[in-house]
Amino acid sequence: MSNSTLPLFITSHATTDKKNRHMNEMKKMQREEKALIAITAESLKTIQYAPRTSTLDAIFEYAKKK
């Protein structure tokens, strides 16, 4: 009498283990991504924009014509 269920169990366990590892990796990457997005958002809050003088002059000249 042979035990034909053993290879099926081993294969199914290996597949489940592989899926679990993949899910854990995905969750880890999502946490890292959220952390990097938060860092990027904080960095963007510190950027200040100052238009060049020539740009401001052009805007005011355009506004005078209207």
Give the 3-state DSSP-derived string for 17-53, with helices as H, strands as E and coil as C: HHHHHHHHHHHHHHHHHHHHHHHHHHHHHHCCCCCCH
- Name the residue range of residue 31's domain: 5-65
What pTM did the predictor assign?
0.48
Confidence of residue 3 (pLDDT cuts 50, 70, 90): low
Sequence-ordered list of residues with C-beta below 8 angstroms from that of 24, at least 6 positions apart, any chain: none
Q: Residues 4-63: pLDDT tens digits?
A: 555 555 556 667 888 889 999 999 999 999 999 999 999 999 988 888 999 999 999 999
Into how many domains does the chain fold? 1
